Amino acid sequence: MIKASIIGATGYTGAELVRILSRHPQVELVALTSQSYVGQELGRVFPHLKPATTLVCSEQDVLKVARESDVIFTALPHGLSVPIVQEAIENGAKVIDLGADFRLDDQAEYEHWYKVEHHASGLLAEAVYGLPEINREKIARARVVGNPGCYPTSAILGLAPLLKKGLLQANSVIIDSKSGVSGAGRGLSLGVHYSECNDSIKAYNVGGHRHIPEIEQELSKLAGEKVAISFTPHLTPMTRGILSTIYGNLTKDVSYQEVHQLYSEFYGEEPFVQVLPLGELPQTKWCYGSNHCFIGLVVDPRVNRVIVVAAIDNLVKGASGQAVQNMNLLFGLPETSGLEFAGIYP
Amino acid sequence: MIKASIIGATGYTGAELVRILSRHPQVELVALTSQSYVGQELGRVFPHLKPATTLVCSEQDVLKVARESDVIFTALPHGLSVPIVQEAIENGAKVIDLGADFRLDDQAEYEHWYKVEHHASGLLAEAVYGLPEINREKIARARVVGNPGCYPTSAILGLAPLLKKGLLQANSVIIDSKSGVSGAGRGLSLGVHYSECNDSIKAYNVGGHRHIPEIEQELSKLAGEKVAISFTPHLTPMTRGILSTIYGNLTKDVSYQEVHQLYSEFYGEEPFVQVLPLGELPQTKWCYGSNHCFIGLVVDPRVNRVIVVAAIDNLVKGASGQAVQNMNLLFGLPETSGLEFAGIYP
Amino acid sequence: MIKASIIGATGYTGAELVRILSRHPQVELVALTSQSYVGQELGRVFPHLKPATTLVCSEQDVLKVARESDVIFTALPHGLSVPIVQEAIENGAKVIDLGADFRLDDQAEYEHWYKVEHHASGLLAEAVYGLPEINREKIARARVVGNPGCYPTSAILGLAPLLKKGLLQANSVIIDSKSGVSGAGRGLSLGVHYSECNDSIKAYNVGGHRHIPEIEQELSKLAGEKVAISFTPHLTPMTRGILSTIYGNLTKDVSYQEVHQLYSEFYGEEPFVQVLPLGELPQTKWCYGSNHCFIGLVVDPRVNRVIVVAAIDNLVKGASGQAVQNMNLLFGLPETSGLEFAGIYP
Amino acid sequence: MIKASIIGATGYTGAELVRILSRHPQVELVALTSQSYVGQELGRVFPHLKPATTLVCSEQDVLKVARESDVIFTALPHGLSVPIVQEAIENGAKVIDLGADFRLDDQAEYEHWYKVEHHASGLLAEAVYGLPEINREKIARARVVGNPGCYPTSAILGLAPLLKKGLLQANSVIIDSKSGVSGAGRGLSLGVHYSECNDSIKAYNVGGHRHIPEIEQELSKLAGEKVAISFTPHLTPMTRGILSTIYGNLTKDVSYQEVHQLYSEFYGEEPFVQVLPLGELPQTKWCYGSNHCFIGLVVDPRVNRVIVVAAIDNLVKGASGQAVQNMNLLFGLPETSGLEFAGIYP
């Protein structure tokens, strides 16, 4: 049994990790730390987890946690993970960071977008971007995995086959994403106050969202050239789910069937990517609570553009499920272990 | 491995059975029948189940299904199950009926409320009401289980301890229930058209809902006297969940602590009933997608009344999860087998 | 033109007053005060009001406001209105208080339930409970109107005809109310964080909600005897609306038709109470944004109980619309002036 | 008083017309026709309109309606309006068609996209596209107004200033629109069944939606060259509202301030278009129930693209409110008459 701990267990991604790991056949949860709920049973903080665990939230004693754990999941706001990951690694634990601190390769880029200094440039260089469908082999050999952001997961999975084949004009890519409100976390603010956002949709952080450098970094690697995107996130009146509608200009005349074929082959063996049949498009509810990404495609010859629609659950494939998928890779387990559950529908 | 089939697999309760059974460690799904989708993969009808099963919907050939199955789940509108259950039983399968045809003991009562004749009075008499927390032993020996309605499950679990102790005035019981819209099924009607019911709540079938005789039957058995209730269902703008707020006049002066103690003991060993700590009340989202029932209690000495609030997922503990719990009992499996998953939150 | 001001204009009831008053043909809005937004245009705080007013939020200078206003609406948390109302009255303005400070007749009752002292017992004694359908004449002569709470409005309108006729057992009344989330106001808390309350329903403050004494006070007056109720509010996943499902035992054998006739006559001339035809029940969305109360009735002879279902918009008939109705009475205007708009549906 | 009638009064746009017209100071509603509800009071079909009108739905006798009306609103599925409009015009009524039959200038284009023949090419040529902010003068002189589609209204208002100035590359325009479910009308289908679309978002008709030719027609006129767009509509879990997020490549280097200035001037006098301050973006709820369009802007110099976000209520500015605005123009009334109400928030 792999001994796993969570630093920051009482946010939504932490709770989702517990939901998944508590039923993982090769995992034993050993510690859950929290800032706000030390000494409380997690099942009191999140009653839906009452049947799943009797663990009590403990203080964030990283040394102790690292010594008793094979793997640590850090689920903290950006900037807070760096010292923790360093200490954990030094004490022999592997780390999967669900925050933003180990996603960007370039320290200056990180510091530019996140407005904090990064004090572990060595680890940053070593860390692997944890998108298994792209980086499977590297992840398996990593000590630190930077778990992808929710929006980037949908965007990169949606674009990878086309970019890798050089079929898209690098600077034509526009990603229009719609996220459920849980993506904003558990912290209180007027923008996610029920009465303010129910029955209403809005765009936010247009052109300035911190997931932009992460998306561009990975798309550029796939394309083999610098890709600059437009990315617009929207707050959508639903609890979970991300739908990314992605537009790109084709570099040559390819048919709908050819593009569809390309995706079907690219993701043919992937357990968590479902390329939909010709003519079908996903809705986010299909992956509510599951680790699956559904991808639908349209080629619009009128404007010589391809439109890709990718749907995930922001808290599962977009966060905690993907983190468990990465853990499976780190420890040589079947990649789907503990993640085989279907979504909840309707 | 137990061979299980579903007659009526393409409604919501059918799909939910597939979601659960496809991951049950002792079950093999062998046939899924449908009226509307014969020949189609279930994963096309319900894409969230694409990763769960490759089964194709077949015609409703009961004889064939019965011969290849150890257990059949019937998930059909009332009146349609009777001949199917009869044929299945005659051909050696056990049956769990998720419809209303085998819940009432009294044929006349059934025919009065459901406005159809019942052509299998023998089976009706034999069938066991499938609420494990109340009827565990009988279910284990049954051939036909009448799986409880969603509202009755919440109401009976909410009232059993008090009624069994004689602590409630039999005719004071009022059950005010709020159900998510999935309880109305997948059939189209103006009342469950999104624009008509979103952001709005209403009561319906006041004093005339068909779950009344079922609730009264079971409550009367528990109380040892005839119990007549008021029951008001409400259509609530949420997909899943039932919250039943239950009122009853106390027959004697008992304290909040005593009532709480009574519930804690009554349900102490139950894997799927969570009695909340003093002062806490449930919300339906805690059991979203899970087989758990959460119960909160208040005793209001101002009016000498107890108020019980019970929350379930109408499609799980209120239907398909409970059906699997019954199947586990029928075949001597651990009662929680295949049902250990926590709810999805938030 | 009546000069009207709002003390506390940047909460939901304040904004709703502006929405209504800005189109009232006999009203001129002269001042809007705020704690948090002094110096900002209200149309920046609430962009939906941009087209309605160019007023800027000012400091809470009661003396100044009172001198330039014929009527002041106070929309503040309980306890804060008392000194303001006193000062306003002394300076010649009439006051309609949308908070709880002038609803209860009995000072001790107020202090018991609200846990604060009341420093204006004289005004408390003088203030009129502002439910026009019950107190029309008194309101017309008042200086201070205690505008009813949202839940009480639905409960009292739902019960008045039966109680006044002595048709209900005084202590049998149970009020099960479902409120939209806007009833909780604009203040942030985890319970009204979108992800926590979307797609979920819960009861709260069972047996202890502060609207209980207000409801009992008014029902007791109607009944001519002490009425003690059970009242259970529920947080419902919708922005606006209250549905109160009300149960009472009949004191004698009256038919559904007779009860319906009683209501139809009682409310026959009322512009804002719609008694539904026999067999029909309301949904909250019918009064979304309007000042109307819809009432449906069922008599259940099985249990000799009447069930009344009353629907209002908590922010209109349950707060700001009713306040304007009271203002119309105070100034001898047609009671419907400025309030004739229909609800928004769907 | 202008005598107005509605052909097709029992769909959502018909009901919304009644809500608005019943309070219009210069309008008398004289006839409401319906296919499904002949002989019923509209206030029974839509109880929220009970307080607004006592009119009874009549048969669709166009001759009779035309003779007693100054203006007729046709709110019918495409293809059905053509003969009705012809008959109405011949009998002296002006017509505002809320369907799609009189929006396209080109008959062949209409027949290509709508798959029906158009039997009134003369009227088609004569009809004026009813977007007042663009076509005010022509509308004032029209006999037949083709009221714009909901998506086109948001898209054209969002793009007009830039295209008219030649600041956008004609073929770079991408319109990603999110619509509330009421846009799908009152007809039943699985896609708008509550349980299927609640808490979920999806794209539909990608590259093939019938609003494409209408948008391209008007954008091309504004740009003075052929504009070909990508347009992706999304079904969003909310009742009302359209948010269009619009992307375009700039033809030259203009600053955010310059673009903002351009919009502020272009719409400076418009009563129903609100250009938001620099840095602000709209949410759909701000115009819930109102005739206002809110526009926010971003210029992203990283990619030399402008992003415009336009929000409307699909049933008001996107349909019935705009139709009344057109009626005001047709009859020389103040353009805002009957439309001054603010939105409902929260």
DSSP A228-282: --EEEEEE-SSSS-EEEEEEEEBSS---HHHHHHHHHHHTTT-TTEEEPPTT---
- Tell me if D292 and C49 make a contact (CB, 8 A cut-off): no
Tokens representing D38 are 């002949």
User: Does A209 contact chain B (CB < 8 Å)?
Assistant: no
Closest-approach residue (CA) in chain B for C284: B200
pLDDT, residue B341, reads 96
CB atoms within 10 A of CB A319: 26
DSSP state of D267: T
**Which residues of C does the annotation mark as catalytic?**
150
Q: Looking at the partner chain, which of C23, C276, C344 has a beta carbon nearest the beta carbon of D344?
A: C344
Q: Is D214 helix (H, G, I), strand (E, B) or coil?
A: helix
Helix (H, G, I), strand (E, B), or coil: what is residue D311? Answer: strand
User: What is the pLDDT, as a whole number, of residue A125?
Assistant: 95
Chain A residues 257-276 within an 8 A CB cutoff of chain B? 271, 274, 276
Cβ-defined contact of A281 to D206 (cutoff 8 Å): yes
Q: Which of C242, C258, C241 is nearest to C306 (CA)?
A: C258
Per-residue pLDDT tens over the stretch C1-24: 999 999 999 999 999 999 999 999
Mutate to test the interface with C, among D40, D42, D48 (most CBs of C within 10 A): D48
pLDDT at residue A319, rounded to an integer: 98
> Which residue among C12, C51, C346 places its CB closest to the CB of D342?
C51
Closest by CA position to C19, among listed C240, C285, C271? C240
Which residue of C200, C201, C307 is in closest CB contact with B230?
Answer: C307
Which residues of D fall within a CB distance of 8 Å from B193? 186, 188, 192-194
Point out the residue among B186, B189, B194 whose CB comes nearest to the CB of D198. Answer: B194
Burial class (CB in 10 A: 0-12, 13-18, 19+), B282: buried
Q: Which residue of C has its CA nearest to D271?
A: C51
Q: Do C176 and B207 touch (CB under 8 A)?
A: no
Residues of D within 8 A of B235 (CB-CB) are none
Give just the sign of the alpha carbon dihedral C318, C324, C329, C335.
Answer: negative
Q: CA Rg, chain A, in Å?
A: 19
Q: What is the ipTM of this complex?
A: 0.98
Q: Report pLDDT for A314.
A: 98
Chain A 68-97, CB below 8 Å of chain D: which residues? none
For residue range B110-149, what is the model confidence (pLDDT) as tens digits? 999 999 999 999 999 999 999 999 999 999 999 999 999 9
Chain D nearest C-alpha distance from B236 (Å): 11
Q: DSSP alpha helices (H): ranges in chain B?
A: 12-21, 42-45, 62-68, 81-90, 107-114, 121-126, 132-140, 150-164, 194-197, 211-223, 256-266, 321-330
Nearest to D238 among A176, A200, A232 (CB): A200
DSSP at C247: E
- Residues of chain D with pLDDT below 50 are none
pLDDT tens per residue across all 346 residues of chain B? 999 999 999 999 999 999 999 999 999 999 999 999 999 999 999 999 999 999 999 999 999 999 999 999 999 999 999 999 999 999 999 999 999 999 999 999 999 999 999 999 999 999 999 999 999 999 999 999 999 999 999 999 999 999 999 999 999 999 999 999 999 999 999 999 999 999 999 999 999 999 999 999 999 999 999 999 999 999 999 999 999 999 999 999 999 999 999 999 999 999 999 999 999 999 999 999 999 999 999 999 999 999 999 999 999 999 999 999 999 999 999 999 999 999 999 9
Q: What is the pLDDT of residue A222?
A: 98
Catalytic residue flag (residue D150): yes
Q: Are strands B305-312 and B293-300 parallel, antiparallel or unpaired?
A: antiparallel
Q: Is B48 on the interface with A (CB under 8 A)?
A: yes
| Alpha-helical regions (H) of chain A | 12-21, 42-45, 62-68, 81-90, 107-114, 121-126, 132-140, 150-164, 194-197, 211-223, 256-266, 321-330
Which of B254, B294, B300 is closest to B277 using CA atoms? B294
Grouping H, G, I as helix, E, B as strand and the rest as coil, residue B26 is coil
Q: Name which of B190, B196, B239 is nearest D198 (Cβ-Cβ).
A: B239
Q: Phi, psi at residue A343, to the nearest 5°?
A: -70, 170
Q: What is the spatial distance between Cα D260 and Cα D277, in angstroms, rounded to a whole number?
A: 8
In this prediction, residue D134 carries a pLDDT of 98
Residues of B in contact with A243 (CB under 8 A): none
Fold of D2-126: Rossmann fold (3.40.50)
Angle at C26 between CA C22 and CA C29, to 5 degrees: 40
* Residue of chain C with shortest Cα separation from A190: C188
Q: Is A308 on the interface with C (CB under 8 A)?
A: no
Mutation for B interface: C176, C243, C305, most B CBs within 10 A: C176
Task: Specify the pLDDT at position C311.
Answer: 98
Q: How far apart (Å, rounded) are the C-alpha atoms in residues A326 and A140? A: 8
Second CATH level (architecture) for the domain C151-314: 2-Layer Sandwich (3.30)
- pLDDT tens-digit map of D101-158: 999 999 999 999 999 999 999 999 999 999 999 999 999 999 999 999 999 999 999 9
Q: Is D342 on the interface with A (CB under 8 A)?
A: no
- Name the residue in chain A with its Cα closest to that of B288: A48
The residues near D99 (Cβ < 8 Å, ≥ 6 apart) are: D74, D75, D76, D77, D78, D80, D81
Q: Write the DSSP assignment of D81-123 as a string of letters.
A: HHHHHHHHHHTT-EEEE-SSTTT-S-HHHHHHHH-S--S-HHH
Alpha-helical runs (H) found in C127-268? 132-140, 150-164, 194-197, 211-223, 256-266
The CB-side HSE value for B45 (13 A sphere, CA atoms) comes to 27
Q: A189–C189: do the CB atoms touch at under 8 Å?
A: no
**Contact criterion met (CB below 8 Å) for D345 and D272:** no
Chain C residues with beta carbon closer than 8 angstroms to that of A191: none
- CB D276, CB D296: distance < 8 Å: yes
- Average pLDDT along chain C, 346 residues, taken 10 residues at a time: 98 98 98 97 97 97 97 96 96 97 97 95 96 98 98 98 97 98 97 98 96 98 98 98 98 96 97 97 98 98 96 98 98 98 97
pLDDT in tens, A108-157: 999 999 999 999 999 999 999 999 999 999 999 999 999 999 999 999 99
Nearest CA to D161 out of D293, D279, D285, D337 is that of D293
Helix (H) or strand (E) holding C6: strand C2-7
CB contact under 8 A, D344 and C15: no
D81, D101 in Cβ contact below 8 A?
Answer: yes
Compute the Cα dihedral for B139, B141, B146, B147 and give only its sign.
Answer: positive
Q: Chain D within 8 Å of A234 (Cβ-Cβ)?
A: yes
Candidate from B22, B50, B287 with C-beta closest to A48: B287
> Which residue spans within chain D are E strands per DSSP?
2-7, 27-33, 57-58, 71-74, 94-97, 128-129, 144-146, 174-179, 202-203, 230-235, 242-249, 273-275, 293-300, 305-312
pLDDT, tens digit, 9 for 90 and up, residues A186-211 = 999 999 999 999 999 999 999 999 99
Return all residues near C269 (Cβ < 8 A) that are at least 6 apart. none
Q: Across chain D, how many H-helices and E-strands are there?
A: 12, 14
Distances (CA, A) of C174 to B155, C206, C231, C279, D131: 17, 12, 6, 21, 53
**Is D196 close to A346, i.e. CB distance below 8 A?**
yes
| Neighboring chain B residues of A273 at a CB cutoff of 8 Å | none
Cross-chain residue pair A274–B50, CB shorter than 8 Å: yes
Return the partners of chain B (3 or more C-beta pairs < 8 Å): A, C, D
pLDDT of residue C118: 95
| Residues in B touching C174 (Cβ below 8 Å) | 174, 247, 305
> CB–CB of B185/B14 below 8 Å?
no
Task: Give residues with Cβ within 8 angstroms of A208, minimum separation 6.
Answer: none
By Cβ distance, the residue of A15, A199, A288 closest to B199 is A199
Burial of C269 (0-12, 13-18, 19+ CB in 10 A): exposed
Which residues of chain B have a CB within 8 Å of the CB of D192? 193-195
Spatial distance between the Cα atoms of D205 and A259, rounded to a whole number of angstroms: 18
Nearest residue to C147 (alpha-carbon basis) of C343, C291, C45, C285: C291
**Residues D193/B192, Cβ–Cβ less than 8 Å:** yes
Select from A113, A197, A201 the residue whose CB has the most chain D CBs within 10 Å, as the one to mutate to test that interface: A201
Chain D environment of B198 (Cβ under 8 Å): 181, 194, 198, 237-239
Residues in chain D: 346
Run of H or E residues at B308: strand B305-312
Contact indicator for B311, B180 with CB cutoff of 8 Å: no
Nearest to A346 by CA among C280, B289, B290, C162: B289
Q: How many Cβ pairs closer than 8 A exist between chain B and D?
A: 58
Reduced DSSP (H G I as helix, E B as strand, rest coil) percent helix, strand, coil of chain C, to 5: 35, 20, 40
Mean of per-residue pLDDT scores for chain A = 97
Let me know: does A2 contact A70? Beta carbons within 8 Å: yes
Q: Residue D145 pairs with which residues in a beta bridge?
A: D96, D128
CB A202 within 8 A of CB A146: no
Give the best residue of C12, C48, C287 to mutate against chain D (max D CB count within 10 A).
C48
CA distance B86 to B77: 16
Residues in chain C with CB shorter than 8 Å from the CB of D19 are: 342, 344-345
In what order do the strands lie in the sheet containing B27-33?
B57-58, B27-33, B2-7, B71-74, B94-97, B144-146, B128-129
The answer, for A182 touching chain C at a CB cutoff of 8 Å, is yes
Which residues, including other chains, have CB under 8 Å from residue B13's CB and lie 6 or more apart? Answer: B75, B98, B315, B319, B320, B323
The segment(s) of chain C belonging to CATH 3.30.360.10 are 151-314
Tens-digit pLDDT profile for residues A157-175: 999 999 999 999 999 999 9
Q: Please, are residues A345 and A286 in contact by the beta-carbon 8 Å criterion?
A: yes
Instruction: Give the pLDDT score at A66.
Output: 97
- The span from the CA of A135 to the CA of A153, in Å, is 12
B10 touching D, CB under 8 A? no
Say which residues have a Cβ less than 8 Å from residue A324's Cβ, sequence separation at least 6.
A17, A20, A21, A24, A291, A338, A339
Alpha helices in chain C (DSSP H): 12-21, 42-45, 62-68, 81-90, 107-114, 121-126, 132-140, 150-164, 194-197, 211-223, 256-266, 321-330
Chain B residues with beta carbon closer than 8 angstroms to that of D182 = 195
Kindly report, as residue ranges, where domains of CATH 3.40.50.720 are found in chain B.
2-126
Q: How many angstroms separate the CA atoms of A320 and A294, rounded?
A: 17
**Burial profile B116-130: b = 16 or more Cβ within 10 angstroms, e = fewer:** eebebeebbeebbbb
Amino acid D183: pLDDT = 98
